[in-house]
Amino acid sequence: MVAGQVNLLPGHVPPQGLHVHLSELSSALTRAGHEVVVYTRREDSDSPDRIPASGGYEIVQVPAGPRTPLAPDETASAMGEFGSFLNREWRQRPPDIAHAHYWLSGLATQLATRSLGIPIAQTFHSLGTVDSRVREKNPADAPSRDRIRLERLIARGATRMIATSSDEVFELARMGLPRTRTTVVPAGVDAEHYCPADSSGPAPDRPRRHRLLAAGPLDPTSGFDIAIEALAAVPDSELLIATHPALASVPRRAEGQEKARLVKIARINGVQGRVRIRRAVTTEEMPVLLRSADVVVSTPWHDPSGMLALQAMACGRPVIATASGGMLDTVLDDATGVLVPVRAPEAVATAARRLLSDATTRATFGIAARDRVLARYTWDRVAEDTVRAYERCVPVRRTAHRTARTGVQ
């Protein structure tokens, strides 16, 4: 076990999945006997500087930039101030290892540790090269170009890269990082919260016809339009789209425009009466909705973590998933679900018709999916794998174990 302090830092937090990843990983490391400190940029003036989290770790709010939510491009200018704060803090009590999450936190962490000799583990969660390709951005655009250039420098400067999928390892190799310096540690799932049945909670709202469920942020890259187009070729079924609560940095107008676009696509495809969009679905509501579905459809343009697929699998539901990112690892094709090409509504429809017509296959896939989660993707297992990666950066101490202080930003 790694003894001492681990600092995990995200700078600016991208999609909701990273919030979950940081919280659950920090809690699991704490349960394993480590002391965890999470550093995050302060976005208000009212809350305390240091907050004890329910998972047992500590959250430190760093004064860097304006005390308001910022988009990633705006947050970059605050990372120098963030790094200076960390440098002052860690001179007093240096961590054994700093684990940076997302590229902006990697920038701050490397600025902070440059003269301190603290080893760094880096997890990007998403890469600028992939983001530009998926969103069809021009790589020559200044923000994309700067992010891609900095990610290469951050990867080379880190003691060890911790990728969330084998797909990301290949992307890092294309950036010039030797594969020997990368360890794959996937995202996890709370298998007690996401489970096949909950006798103490409300019963699932079971529709009369088959239900497909999709979930994610109300954003074009979530691929809800693919699921809607597929529904036109899947009779006697409905599609429920459960959207996440919006981040503070996402304009409400953008969400409204995306919802209007999806409604229009449903009307064009003649399925407007079979599509429901439920906005701002909470973590507490998600397991019930997942259990109400016959099949869960996850068709984003790219998903580094495969979080929805994991949640569905933990609930014992088969998954139709885009064959990209983390889902290439988590979903076993024709065993826990069906992998389909990116942006291929016809393939989604074919897979849906097959699963919806065969209750035995759905049940078999669901059982295998739950078993796979329990064997590989609980947060305690993810924490164990993360500590093994840390041990490749920090010599294992042969003295009595003491707690590790971890910081996440």
Three state DSSP letters for 171-184: HHHHCCCCHHHEEE
Do 353 and 342 share a structural domain?
yes
pLDDT digits (tens, 9 = 90+) for 139-170: 557 678 899 999 999 999 999 999 999 999 99
Q: Let me know whether 23 and 167 are in one domain.
A: yes
Q: Are residues 255 and 168 in the same domain?
A: no
Give the chain's domain count: 2
Task: Say if 198 falls within a structural domain.
Answer: no
Residue 201 in domain: no
Give the containing element (helix H, strand E) for 25: helix 16-31
Same domain, yes or no, for 337 and 385? no
Alpha-carbon separation of residue 261 from 25, 227, 245 (angstroms): 36, 13, 18
Find the CATH number of the domain harbouring 68.
3.40.50.2000
Residues 281, 256 share a domain: yes
Domain span including residue 292: 210-376
pLDDT of residue 89: 95
100 pLDDT above the threshold of 80: yes
Query: How long, in residues, is the chain?
Result: 409
- Are residues 176 and 27 part of one domain? yes
Residue 196 lies in a domain: no
Report if residue 197 sits inside a domain: no
Same domain, 217 and 176: no
- What the block records as the tokens of 131 is 């983001």
Has residue 399 got a pLDDT over 70?
A: no
Of residues 133 and 210, which shows the higher confidence score?
A: 210
**Alpha carbon distances (Å) from 5 to 24, 36, 381, 384, 387:** 17, 7, 20, 16, 12
Residue 131 and residue 15 share a domain:
yes
- pLDDT exceeds cutoff 80 at 200: no
Average pLDDT over residues 88-102: 95
Give the pLDDT confidence score for residue 322 in this predicted structure. 96
130 and 11 inside one domain: yes
> Does residue 66 carry a pLDDT above 90?
yes
pLDDT number for residue 11:
44
pLDDT at 134: 82
- Nearest one of 358, 362, 306, 304 to 335, comparing CA atoms: 362
pLDDT score of 14: 41
Confidence of residue 211 (pLDDT cuts 50, 70, 90): very high
Q: How confident is the model at residue 128 (pLDDT cuts 50, 70, 90)?
A: very high
Q: Name the band, by pLDDT with cuts 50, 70 and 90, for residue 72.
A: confident
- Mean pLDDT over residues 291-299, rounded? 97
**Contact criterion met (CB below 8 Å) for 369 and 317:** yes
pLDDT for residue 206: 62
